[in-house]
Chain A
């Protein structure tokens, strides 16, 4: 190599002013796409994870000969999957033709409403589902594995009471599970999305 690297460099950039800088436009396009893509993927992963859980519930219940309760549990989980899928459809209603900032703000609003709905479901609907399993177990106590834990003399009211207490405990557990899972899965993405929205708003000022 005869030419020094300095010479190659200086000769190539002899007229530095001729270097054309890329246009500063759609500054946040790539960033927005990336964060929205991650959020979508996380929601889908989170929701689709319910399907194997439903299958496991059926298999698990079958092992204990609790076919009916197993199927009912799977039905509840699949209902949850259906409910979530319908909620996630809200994202597809956002006008993709709107400008970047409007789109992101709308996306954030939809995320908030989805999260609120999910929270309500975790705290109220899931404990009710647990309560309904107790009622089902009581009604099929003759054939149920759970019957070993239910005294034949236990009245419906007593079962309802136990189920109610369990539902409250479930509600508390569900609340914390919701908080922890949201923090672990969605918080970093939400923070990123909020940061982009803030930056874009500042840039517009």
Chain B
């Protein structure tokens, strides 16, 4: 992967890649692996991008696919490393207690629901989420409502 490609095409979207990878991993080591694999797959699939959607949508989609695939592989191996305590050293945002509680709750959702809520939190319109997930916008709207209710129950009493 060329440095130019990374700087111009991936780095501007690294925020969403980090956020998604964070929701699918339990350790710093896994997080770095997922992030690197996502970047690599984005680079490898760059020629398949047909500009029918936004580049950012493409990045979301590839990152989600990588996370879902690696997550399945990790589950099969039952390998879970140390917890996420050290990630905050690199990213101040993850020192936020409320955010960590929210992430913990998100991790309790199914893999697809996790993807949907992450895309929703990133303010993607239902139509775009539907394209990424491969369903209808109506279905996404219904699911987001349901997921939010579920998250509310999970977070109830924990966040004031």
CB pair A1 B157 closer than 8 Å: yes
Which of under 10, 10 to 19, 20 to 34, or 35 or more describes the interface residues of B? 35 or more
CB pair B90 A3 closer than 8 Å: no
A36→B93 CA distance, assembly (Å): 37
CB pair B102 A21 closer than 8 Å: no
Q: Is A184 at the interface (CB under 8 A from chain B)?
A: no
CB pair B39 A8 closer than 8 Å: no
Number of A interface residues at 8 Å Cβ cutoff, please give it.
23
CB pair A16 B152 closer than 8 Å: no
Contacts of A27 in B (CB 8 A): 1, 36, 40
Asked if A22 meets B90 with Cβ closer than 8 Å, knowing A2-B160, A6-B121, the reply is yes
Contact with A along B143-156 (1 / 0, CB 8 A): 00000100110011
Contacts of A154 in B (CB 8 A): none
Contacts of A17 in B (CB 8 A): 15
CB pair B92 A18 closer than 8 Å: yes
Return the contact of B155 from the options A5, A6, A12 (Cβ within 8 A).
Answer: A5
Return the contact of B93 from the options A3, A12, A22 (Cβ within 8 A).
Answer: A12
Q: Is A63 at the interface (CB under 8 A from chain B)?
A: no
CB pair B148 A18 closer than 8 Å: no
CB pair B155 A9 closer than 8 Å: no
CB pair B31 A22 closer than 8 Å: yes
Contact with A along B1-18 (1 / 0, CB 8 A): 100001000010011011
CB pair A19 B121 closer than 8 Å: no
CB pair B151 A5 closer than 8 Å: yes
CB pair A1 B148 closer than 8 Å: no
Contacts of A9 in B (CB 8 A): 99, 102, 121
Q: Is B158 at the interface (CB under 8 A from chain A)?
A: yes
Q: Is B33 at the interface (CB under 8 A from chain A)?
A: yes
Interface residues of B (CB under 8 A from A): 1, 6, 11, 14-15, 17-19, 31-33, 35-36, 39-40, 44, 90-93, 96, 98-99, 102, 117, 121, 148, 151-152, 155-160
State which residues 131-146 of A face B: CB under 8 Å. none
Asked if A3 meets B98 with Cβ closer than 8 Å, knowing A13-B19, A20-B90, the reply is yes
Interface residues of A (CB under 8 A from B): 1-3, 5-6, 8-9, 11-13, 15-22, 24, 27, 30, 199, 203
A93→B31 CA distance, assembly (Å): 33
Return the contact of A1 from the options B6, B117, B155 (Cβ within 8 A).
Answer: B155
Nearest chain B CB to A81 CB, angstrom units: 29
Return the contact of A12 from the options B18, B31, B99 (Cβ within 8 A).
Answer: B99
Nearest chain A CB to B62 CB, angstrom units: 15
Contacts of B11 in A (CB 8 A): 21
Write the chain A residue with the least CB distance to B155: A1
Return the contact of B148 from the options A5, A13, A30, A199 (Cβ within 8 A).
Answer: A5
A2→B156 CA distance, assembly (Å): 9
- Top 4 A-B pairs, shortest CB-CB distance: A12-B99, A21-B14, A16-B15, A12-B96
**26 pairs, A vs B, C-beta closer than 8 Å:** A1-B152, A1-B156, A2-B159, A2-B160, A5-B121, A5-B151, A5-B152, A8-B98, A8-B102, A11-B98, A12-B93, A13-B19, A13-B99, A15-B93, A16-B15, A17-B15, A20-B91, A21-B14, A21-B35, A22-B32, A22-B90, A24-B1, A24-B6, A27-B1, A30-B33, A199-B40
Contacts of B14 in A (CB 8 A): 19, 21
* 8 further A-B pairs in the complex, CB-CB below 8 A; given A8-B159, A17-B15: A1-B155, A2-B160, A8-B98, A12-B102, A13-B19, A21-B17, A27-B36, A203-B1
